[in-house]
Structure 1
Amino acid sequence: MGTEHDRRRFLGLAAGASTLTLAGCSTAPGDSGTSSSPTEPDESTDTDTPTSQSMSTVFHFARGPDYQQHALANVANLLDDSSTAVENVVVVANGQGVELLVASESNHPDRVTELLNRGVSFRACENSLAARDIEESALIDGVETVPAGVGELTKLQARDDFAYIETP
């Protein structure tokens, strides 16, 4: 049958919707979608204005020191994105990633503090701290601990509806 048959079948299944958007293309039900001219974007959808619904995001950081700056830049970029309304931002660090949150080991303790002051919650995995013989008192002021980083990620996504982003 092939790709064209699969595409038509999918479009047929979506016939109950007033408009179907696929990869930036808008196709109304009954439209074959074979027009040679590109479909104009729906002007009622403005991607440059913040969404009216505030969202929450959890960043997962488990990499080494070479990736700390990039991870923190991702968090700051989200906060600075005026087209995205974000209410809660959490960074969960586990594995080698907890070094980002240890005052004496972090390459960017001032940047972590700056983001804490902007309302970002940083949470260090107690299992990872214990495996590295790191005391909670060694963490940057304001950093919280959680029993298990993976458990915290699971709870935030499943129970609290956080969007998940794995940092580099």
Structure 2
Amino acid sequence: MRHAFIAFLFALVASFAHAQDVKVVYHVNTGVESSAAILANITNHLNADPKAKIVVVTHGPGIDFLLTDAKDSRGREFSGPVSALAGRGVEFKVCNNTLTTRNIDAGKLLMETKVVPSGVAEVARLQAKEGYVYLKP
């Protein structure tokens, strides 16, 4: 009986520790001119807290860096840094309303992206229902 209680306590502590992992939603609605800095911020965030769960939600001009062949001011494609961050568990979500309004085919998005019905609704959902902290870089 004592061993079962000790096992229960260890499971409870492990569960509590896991529940304390930081969950962050980065809200991006600015164009490619700020995207390199935003990706650098996310990289720095993960370097400081490798267990952080990060979701990047984009809409409006914020989706531009997630388009195939999008480049920064130095001519470097965003696909490499986006792929590297996705490999570290970062999720990239794109607003379908923006795609529709701007007449952009979802096939032009990087493969690491996921289309959501509404970027702002997704930001709100992550905060209200999943306990994500909001960051606006």
Same fold (TM over 0.5): yes
TM bin (shorter chain): 0.7 to 0.9
Q: Who is 1:103 aligned against?
A: 68
Cα displacement string for residues 89-125 of structure 1 (whole angstroms, at most 9, x for unaligned residues): 1000111000011113343121111111111000000
Aligned twin of 1:10: none
TM-score by length of 1: 0.64
Structure (1/2) with the larger helix percentage: 2
Aligned to 1:59, the other structure's residue is in SS state: strand
The answer to whether 1:59 aligns with 2:29 is no
Is 2:125 the counterpart of 1:155? yes
Percent of aligned pairs with the same amino acid: 32
- For structure 2, the residue ranges without an aligned partner over 5 or more in a row are 1-16, 73-77
Letter in 2 for 1:117: G
Of structures 1 and 2, the one scoring higher in RCO (CA 8 A, sep 6+) is 2
TM-aligned CA distance change 1:134 to 1:164, over 3 Å:
same
Aligned residue number for residue 91 of structure 1: 56
Among 80, 102, 114, the alignment partner of 1:132 is: 102
Please identify the structure whose Cα radius of gyration is greater.
1
Structure 1 segments, 4+ long, off by >2 Å, are: 104-107
